[in-house]
Amino acid sequence: MIFRRTIVVFVACAVASAAIAAVPNIHDDAHVFLVGERVQVSVLAKPPNPINKAQALNERLELQAVATVFEGRADFGALPVGWYRVEFLRSDDTVAGFTTAAVLEPLAAAPPDDTPIALDIALAWLGAKDESDWALYAQLARLAGVRWVRDRIHWREVQQEDGSFVEHTKYDDSADIQAAEGLRILQVFHTRPKWALAPDSNPERPRIDLLKLYSFCKGMAERFHGRVGAWEPWNEGNAGNFGGYTLDELCTIQKASYLGFKAGDPNLTVCWNPLGGINIESQTRVVLRNETWPYYDVYSIHSYDWPHGYEQYWAHAREAACGKPLWVTECDRGMQADPASESGDFTPENDRRKGELIAQSYVRSLFSGSSLHFHFILGHYMEGENRTQFGLLRADHTPRPGYVALAALGRLLAGGVCLGRHEVDRQPNVHVYAFRAKPQGQPKDVVVAWTEREADWPERGKERAAWPIAES
């Protein structure tokens, strides 16, 4: 593979990142710092034995720095770009507790509008338990180098009565906060109000009144004009907890919503309503049979598969897109939290593995046909009794390695377009992908490389491979 431009090599791991500018409270509330700033971390609690010092470890638990604790704070001075596990030590050098921190390198330029690195922050849904944290989450998204973020609206909360909208809601505040950070919002709605059922609807199989749906979408396009740039008319409507609609019904919902949105704002981007589960051939057949493609500008999908399966599993979605852009608006591979962690943290080893997955997921997604990829999710979030964790942030908003890995992608693949894949002879577990991007605002060719088996979590992160890099 020959490149005629400057080459930037990015080995996919969870240690490099960048940011735009210092943000109020970002140091104390999230422990995110810029290169050159003093990394100062407060001791989280007063244990029985006094805390004399703290140590900063990298994602492989290798010691990077030691600091004396004075008046409840550990001052490590300036640290290099990376993710850090900060452990507080008692007088006998046993660990009393830990927190995390990140050091990010400032950017010379904001990412372009077409950067493919996006993020589901679900600010008004799960982004933060307290609305006072919304500004922090929006700042962290911007610092990660994304431009597009995904949020949620509950229809029944903004239109409680037929014919009128609630004058002001938390969704207005959420949109204002994100727009103020320069973020472009992809909004999705669901949870219909009871009055929006069709008059002849079967109580056991309730249907939406399409005229009321049209009116709602038109009103939302007008209300959020200039703040929300794209809409998805429903979220995983084929799943029981989101309505359990048939594919034919969802095609009808798509058409009515599209017409309503365009009536309110002709320039608005309207996406297909993304489905839950694997994208299968029968779904595509229904979308095409209903001639639905004129009623979306973008075909949206969700995927919780391993990255090595994207190319194969998304084939039917690419067909349903009918030549239009493909956006992956939710994507991750959930991992069980450490059973010993009450707050839902990963083990240190799994923290690193999850961080490594982030680059693999985005890169394989863009190679497999997507033009915009949203990781699910920024904030601390667990599902199920086995406590499957998805968040890039911990419960106290401090970063996991995955957040720092995302910020590395946000910098190095800013405005990136995948050029192709290089297959290494006799090394099937070595993955090399080339991109044309604008890191630091400068056009460059970027190579993303890693080695990994097609395996589940316990077997990941163990591969090693020699890959000589030419000096010129």
Choose between 199 and 324: higher pLDDT: 324
pLDDT value, residue 129: 62
C-alpha to C-alpha distance for 242 and 154, rounded to whole angstroms: 11
Q: How many percent of the chain have pLDDT more than 90?
A: 83
Collect all residues with Cβ–Cβ distance below 8 Å to 174 and sequence separation of at least 6: 123, 124, 127, 134, 151
Tokens of 357: 């997955």
Kindly report the number of other CB atoms within 10 A of residue 439's CB atom: 26
Q: What is the DSSP string of 372-425?
A: EEEEE-SS--EETTTTEE--SB-TTSPBPHHHHHHHHHHHHTTT-EEEEEEPPT
Per-residue pLDDT averaged across 73-93, rounded? Answer: 96
pLDDT value, residue 128: 54
Pick from 182, 188, 192, 183: nearest CA to 162: 192
With cut-offs at 50, 70 and 90, classify the pLDDT of residue 202: confident
Tokens of 71: 């008046």
Q: Domains in the chain, please, with CATH? A: 18-106 (2.60.40.10), 117-413 (3.20.20.80)
Q: What is the pTM for the complete model shown?
A: 0.93
| pLDDT over 70 at 305, yes or no | yes
Which one-letter amino acid corresponds to residue 127? G
pLDDT value, residue 252: 98
Which range has highest mean pLDDT (40-44, 101-105, 465-469)? 101-105
pLDDT value, residue 167: 97
pLDDT value, residue 132: 77
pLDDT value, residue 392: 98
pLDDT value, residue 17: 36
Tokens of 330: 């939710």
Q: How many percent of the chain have pLDDT more than 70?
A: 93
Confirm if 359 and 408 have CB atoms less than 8 A apart: yes
By the 10 Å C-beta count (0-12 exposed, 13-18 middle, 19+ buried), 2 is classed as exposed
Residue-wise pLDDT for 247-303, tens only, equals 999 999 999 999 999 999 999 999 999 999 999 999 999 999 999 999 999 999 999
Tokens of 215: 């009116």
Residue-wise pLDDT for 375-411, tens only, equals 999 999 999 887 999 999 999 999 999 999 999 999 9
Confirm if 396 and 99 have CB atoms less than 8 A apart: yes
Choose between 106 and 445: higher pLDDT: 445
Q: What is the DSSP string of 50-95?
A: PEEEEEEE-TT--EEEEEEEETTEEEEEE--SEEEEEEEEETTS-E
Partners of 53 in the beta sheet?
68, 89
pLDDT value, residue 23: 42
- The β-bridge relationship of strands 326-331 and 228-232 is unpaired
pLDDT value, residue 384: 86
Residue-wise pLDDT for 131-160, tens only, equals 778 999 999 999 999 999 999 999 999 999
Q: What is the DSSP letter of 92?
A: T
Collect all residues with Cβ–Cβ distance below 8 Å to 361 and sequence separation of at least 6: 307, 331, 332, 333, 373, 375
The alpha-helical segments, DSSP class H, found in 224-328 are 247-264, 281-289, 310-313, 315-321
C-alpha to C-alpha distance for 89 and 68, rounded to whole angstroms: 10
Q: Is the dihedral of CA 18, 24, 29, 31 positive or negative?
A: positive
Computed over its alpha carbons, how large is the radius of gyration of the chain?
23
Residue-wise pLDDT for 2-57, tens only, equals 333 333 445 444 333 333 333 447 999 999 999 999 999 998 766 667 898 999 99
pLDDT value, residue 126: 75
